[in-house]
Structure 1
Amino acid sequence: MNKPISGFSKFSKQEKINWLSQTYLKDSDTSVAVLEQYWHENEKLQQLHDEFTENTLSNFYLPFGLAPNFMINGDLFAIPMTIEESSVIAAASKAAKFWHSRGGFKATVLNTVKIGQVHFLFKGDKNKLEDFFNFCKPKLLFAVSSITKNMEKRGGGVLDISLRDKTESLEGYFQLHCKFETKDSMGANFINSCLEKFSETFKSEALNYEQFSPEEKQIEVIMSILSNYVPECIVRAEVSCKVEDLSDDKLTKPKIFAEKFLTAMKIAEIEPYRAVTHNKGIMNGIDAVVLATGNDFRAVEAGIHAYASRNGSYSSLTHASVENGIFKFWIEIPLALGTVGGLTNLHPLVKVAMEILQKPTAAQLMQIVAVAGLAQNFAAVKSLVTTGIQQGHMKMHLMNILNQYNASNAEKDELVHYFKHHTVTHSSVSEQLEKLRA
């Protein structure tokens, strides 16, 4: 079919499914049944999910799990995590338990400034533009007073507006670089509304600015949009203990472990191929909590990976040191999160997640998310420099393999017991299952 469909968004859900079935689905009855089996029986709840986005056909489920025993700044947390990958929640839980008896996690929010920009082109005298900006700045702030009124009551609002000259990179290109405090809101709609009002006011004031020539009056705004790069919205999380206290039942040579751990960290700092996988493991923990709490994991991912490249080369987000016999492991990352607005007030499971976390502020959620990423990374690097990562990961992946082969509950019980003492691979599971069924 080469002809585009018209008016698809106006179809009912059933009409959309019928069109999809007739146009693209070869085994339409089976596929349609799969779509329908994930509908909520509660019609009101299903309507709520349908209205989260557009052209919805069904619901896509991800596991909602829990990682307990996180001691953060002296308080004990159980952290909700939404993720489909095997071993992530298990590894986070293991790291939480490991550090619980060694002082727990310390976390601090260093700053909460968020950024938005008005990108525009100006052809004329830069000095006159600077004078115009200084003249116009109070008018810009006044123009958004109705938008910022409620935010200011909560201690937020517009922190600053500056003019940035970017003409060395692109001819005629300037920015209004704007800083915001949005408190417990992620603030995207608030920031974008302010920016669009700045843009409108900036252009209209330019038309009446007597010092501008007719050409200079025609400021061309290209776009007004928040940035997901928030290098001034930073949280730090860390753990530390004496090197000898790193030992446990399986880790009997803590000094050697600490040395290997530090070397692994240095490799991740200098080698981008390793750093990408290293940071992906961190994001396993971060994204899982961001998803569970109804925040935007795509924005978080983009901002964090940009931050990992801020010095000109992609590098590790975590770091470690040993000084005076003390092992220290830490992370500093940009996180723009919200605990009010968006899905946090709508999605029933997000509400439960927030309740599990004792209804945190945005700053507290930043700390919890950073700790989850640090814990995940510690567990991964610890495995890599000791037993190797596959031993634990494949044991957790075993159930996925068994489900691919449609193993019965009895077969699962038998093979889970068998692979407690044998290496898990796809072929070994297949072989043992065939023997069992024979």
Structure 2
Amino acid sequence: MTKAIAGFSKLSKEEKIDWIASTHFSNADDAVKTIKKYWNSDADLQKLHDEFIENTITNFYLPFGVAPNFVINGKNYTIPMTIEESSVVAAASKSAKFWSTRGGFKATVLNSEKIGQVHFMFSGDKGKLETFFVQIKSKLFSDTESITKNMQKRGGGILDIELRDKTAELENYYQLHATFETKDSMGANFINSCLEQFAKTLKEEALQFELFSATEKNIQVVMSILSNYVPNCIVRAEVSCPVQDLKEDKNISQEEFAEKFVRAVKIAEIEPYRAVTHNKGIMNGIDAVVLATGNDFRAVEAGIHAYASRSGKYSSLSHAKVENGIFTFWIEIPLALGTVGGLTSLHPLVKIALEMLGKPSAHELMQIVAVAGLAQNFAALRSLTTTGIQQGHMKMHLNNIINQFETTEAERALIKNHFKENTVSHSAVVDFIENLKK
């Protein structure tokens, strides 16, 4: 059992690595060698990466791929994707090419409000609290002017502040519920700074409010924090074409394909077990672009899955229909993204990703990300309702299986050639390699 260590954060990077290697690994030298192998040879770039987080010892690499041929609102894009899962980039690229000759993707931002809350406890007369809030609301705005002035110059700022009574769910619990527009920035620090000032003003003004009793003056702020649930920050992406234009697979008619596709989406709308996997496929595309562009994919995931449950039952994020001979497939999702601030101005590959996309605004990036999710979902559903998901996925996964074994280039060529016509599975590849080695 590893002993606890005091003052670990104060150790140098070399000292951290030495301690980890000596206490956690049977072969300390090999561990150190592997850890240092992933250091960047550019010392300045390595220092930049070291300072992104705390207690850094090395870099963890993920592939940075691209999916070309996306047509979004009439404009061509090559979309950067950072992900470790095989077949995701290929699937997105295949969808992009398919729809590029059928009108492309249409996307629009329906709203872009973000939300933050001051959670506080008030044990007193609700009517007096409401009167108090009306009286101090303008001061909540004025006391944050030093924080909001630069954001206001860019067209953003605080949109509104509401007092919300949550005492039915938790005794004495109220909120200041604020909405924000943060333009091209992710806005987390901006929103949280505003909220903390709201909390300070709330407590200070309560002490001066004449109608409050001594007990009522003692408002207890529990926390002030933005919400990653942004149901009013919505982007819609869609594709549509005549059913007769869906022809691509010679083994299934256009009409049958459309019918099976729509039915598959309907199943995800009503069956949570299917909806989770269905939406996971959508997030394969979304997360890959969010990560490549330096945005917070954990926040995006949390907000989107909450949105998928907004009816009280977890359901599909995408929808499909056939009306009057027209096939339509669409998605509406909450996305709070930024193209300035955070990693967007620090990480060299994030800069590359954003420049590849034409230096998009936050709204444009929201559209691109939603399209990536829809494209991924289309590719998965097309496979599921025709050839099955494993055929294509395992072909892409073949390299990962081969890389687990020591093989020569000649052997790799023989393996890949064999599995062009044979079903790929881990056991089948292992058996073939073992026979090859014999």
TM-score range, shorter chain: over 0.9
What is residue 431 of structure 2 aligned with on the other side?
431
- Determine the C-alpha separation between the residues in 2 that align with 1:250 and 1:153: 57
- Determine the C-alpha separation between the residues in 1 that align with 2:289 and 2:411: 33
What is residue 109 of structure 1 aligned with on the other side?
109
Partner SS state of residue 322, structure 2: strand
- Determine the C-alpha separation between the residues in 2 that align with 1:406 and 1:333: 44
Tell me which amino acid in the other structure corresponds to 1:286. Answer: I
Residue 422 of structure 1 and its aligned partner are, at CA, apart by 0.7
Structure 1: any 5+ residue segments left out of the alignment?
Answer: none
What is residue 82 of structure 2 aligned with on the other side?
82
Indicate the larger mover: 167-176 or 25-34: 25-34
- Determine the C-alpha separation between the residues in 2 that align with 1:261 and 1:82: 28
Tell me which amino acid in the other structure corresponds to 2:257. Answer: F
Residue 248 of structure 1 and its aligned partner are, at CA, apart by 1.6
Indicate the larger mover: 425-434 or 178-187: 425-434
- Determine the C-alpha separation between the residues in 1 that align with 2:254 and 2:266: 18
What is residue 270 of structure 1 aligned with on the other side?
270
Tell me which amino acid in the other structure corresponds to 2:243. Answer: V
What is residue 15 of structure 1 aligned with on the other side?
15
Q: Taking structure 1 as the reference length, what is the TM-score of the superposition?
A: 0.99
Partner SS state of residue 403, structure 2: helix
Deviations 1:283-313 (A, max 9, x none): 0000000000000000000000000000000
What is residue 321 of structure 1 aligned with on the other side?
321
What is residue 385 of structure 1 aligned with on the other side?
385
Partner SS state of residue 65, structure 1: strand
What is residue 359 of structure 2 aligned with on the other side?
359
Give runs of ≥4 in structure 1 deviating > 4 Å: none
Partner SS state of residue 194, structure 1: helix
Alpha carbon RMSD of aligned pairs, Å? 0.9
What is residue 330 of structure 1 aligned with on the other side?
330
What is residue 229 of structure 1 aligned with on the other side?
229
Partner SS state of residue 52, structure 1: coil
Tell me which amino acid in the other structure corresponds to 1:411. Answer: E
Tell me which amino acid in the other structure corresponds to 2:26. Answer: K
What is residue 162 of structure 2 aligned with on the other side?
162
Residue 408 of structure 1 and its aligned partner are, at CA, apart by 2.2
What is residue 297 of structure 1 aligned with on the other side?
297
Tell me which amino acid in the other structure corresponds to 1:202. Answer: L
The correspondence of residues 28-427 of structure 1 with structure 2, limited to 5 A, is: 28-250=28-250, 252-427=252-427
Residue 249 of structure 1 and its aligned partner are, at CA, apart by 4.7
Tell me which amino acid in the other structure corresponds to 1:234. Answer: I
CA contact (8 A) 2:252 2:386 kept: no
Deviations 1:330-356 (A, max 9, x none): 000000000000000000000000010
- Determine the C-alpha separation between the residues in 1 that align with 2:360 and 2:327: 30
Tell me which amino acid in the other structure corresponds to 1:266. Answer: K
Structure 2: any 5+ residue segments left out of the alignment?
Answer: none
Partner SS state of residue 162, structure 1: strand
Tell me which amino acid in the other structure corresponds to 1:69. Answer: N
Tell me which amino acid in the other structure corresponds to 1:72. Answer: I
Matched length: 438
CA contact (8 A) 2:80 2:289 kept: yes
Residue 3 of structure 1 and its aligned partner are, at CA, apart by 4.5
Tell me which amino acid in the other structure corresponds to 2:166. Answer: K
Deviations 1:381-410 (A, max 9, x none): 010010000000000000000001122222
- Determine the C-alpha separation between the residues in 2 that align with 1:23 and 1:422: 46
Partner SS state of residue 387, structure 2: coil
CA contact (8 A) 2:2 2:24 kept: no
% identity of equivalent residues? 70
Partner SS state of residue 56, structure 1: coil
Residue 437 of structure 1 and its aligned partner are, at CA, apart by 2.1
Q: Aligned in 2, Cα 1:289/1:121: closer, same or farther, shift over 3 Å?
A: same
Partner SS state of residue 223, structure 2: strand
